[in-house]
Structure 1
């Protein structure tokens, strides 16, 4: 499975083609799905361009994207950078009126179980974000929600292309082989394409998009999310 991550917490100065508004995200989702994406992850943005969990913006964003790509699962973030207080973050989730198909919870962040509980209460599937170089794997294994997640995101934050694969191997070993849900493995920036190669070799789900990387495998600036999805699909088809 190839997920597209449309924008992340980047700002407009990072990339001129980064989608922010519901209309921009809807068009980016349409093009990415046409290029081969099968699932969508995005960050709803407020008027200031910053990530938000505000129910009106979440609703407008999800509605617009669903119209653009009917039948494609749409997920959003619950990252603590949007709402640092965990109880407030959980309350925001409970206030949503239009629900995503899934939402990511970063298990290295304090209050992950509170947010996961709010998602379960709303019937929203959970992507468990497990960052490399943190204690997230250990926290997740002892969580009461570990058996209730849709998938485990093995998120490699090592951006060195020379070491990202070994970092990924280490995190996968930490997670073990008895996980209750499938793994989606991905990297970011300098490590994005090497980790995507590893995911394809291992037969794991992966993701690509402007949240994770701003360049194609040959180092050229990516024009948009669809260009990254096409490049990922080409790598899948190429001999390993």
Structure 2
């Protein structure tokens, strides 16, 4: 990837943890997801990452909720966005996660690449706001990858540290992965890699080295950044200067750079698009995004 490549603008539309008491714009119902998808696409977003919720806002891993949300989005924006399902969770069986992939067949599914401490720390309180273990053992990763290969779903490798990128190597050797690789580097989580431009560059370099096994020297692989909370905007700027793509959205961050709470995902996407253009690059079209990620064009699927 280089500065000549268009940047894929992704939106994580809701997440599964935050609620409307924290941010009124978070969608709950399929119709609200669809309305947010329209705002995302109208502002230049081409890749939508979905955590399902039941209509009352509770996190859901049920087939019917994923199906209703994804169908509502498709009915609203057609093929103008790539649909991506999360498989990341705590305490939900691999079988249940595979079931909603199998029933709904999203184009892309996110796959967390390693276990870790996962926390949020408050320097004001001198204490952790929350702290847990996020388990993603290799047996679960392999089972999810095998299902994705069988179903024709492209994995998005969410890497919270450099070691998570290294975890791709044995999976490539096992024949579970094909190029182009599609990785997103998650920065800003306590327990993961510290969110600096140097660390982001190191993540990109490591992906190129691991991906060279697939014969492209890393040049054909795609990466983006996921900046969590207040570090989102500096990490977007760093990624754009390094040739990467970017993700915004209400799962990751509620606030625009000036500190104003976003009134929709569309406002976050609009700012992301502006940053892409200000960096001298351009947002990818959905057709370009599918080609870069190795996802078949919908018309040819």
> TM-score normalized by structure 1?
0.87
Aligned CA-pair RMSD: 2.4
Distance across 2 between alignment mates of 1:158 and 1:102 = 23
From 181, 192, 204, give the equivalent of 2:232. 192
Cα shift readout 1:179-211 (whole Å, capped 9, x = no counterpart): 463112221112111110011112212111111
- Whichever of the two has the greater Rg, that structure is 2
2:266 aligned with 1:237, yes or no? no
From 7, 16, 35, give the equivalent of 1:9. 16
Partner of 2:263: 223
> TM-score normalized by structure 2?
0.71
Cα shift readout 1:46-69 (whole Å, capped 9, x = no counterpart): 245333332111111110000111
Q: For residue 146 of structure 1, give the secondary structure of its aligned residue in structure 2.
A: coil
Change over 3 Å in CA distance of 1:101–1:219 after alignment to 2: same
Q: Higher relative CO (CA 8 A, sep ≥ 6), structure 1 or 2?
A: 2
Cα shift readout 1:73-122 (whole Å, capped 9, x = no counterpart): 111101133x533344334533x1x3211111111112111112112212
Distance across 1 between alignment mates of 2:56 and 2:146 = 29
Distance across 2 between alignment mates of 1:43 and 1:80 = 10
Distance across 1 between alignment mates of 2:222 and 2:278 = 24
Distance across 1 between alignment mates of 2:158 and 2:76 = 26
Give 1:44-123 correspondences, 5 Å limit. Answer: 44-47=52-55, 49-71=57-79, 72-81=81-90, 83-94=91-102, 96=103, 98-108=104-114, 109-110=136-137, 111-123=140-152
Q: For residue 152 of structure 1, give the secondary structure of its aligned residue in structure 2.
A: strand
Asked if the contact 1:128–1:149 (Cα under 8 Å) also holds between the matched residues in 2, the reply is no
Cα shift readout 1:156-194 (whole Å, capped 9, x = no counterpart): 2347xx943233233223323434631122211121111
Q: For residue 235 of structure 1, give the secondary structure of its aligned residue in structure 2.
A: helix
Distance across 2 between alignment mates of 1:113 and 1:148 = 17
Structure 2: stretches of 5+ with no match in the other structure: 1-7, 115-135, 213-217, 281-301
Partner of 1:139: 167
Distance across 1 between alignment mates of 2:95 and 2:230 = 34
Change over 3 Å in CA distance of 1:149–1:57 after alignment to 2: farther
Structure 1: stretches of 5+ with no match in the other structure: none
Q: How many residues align?
A: 235
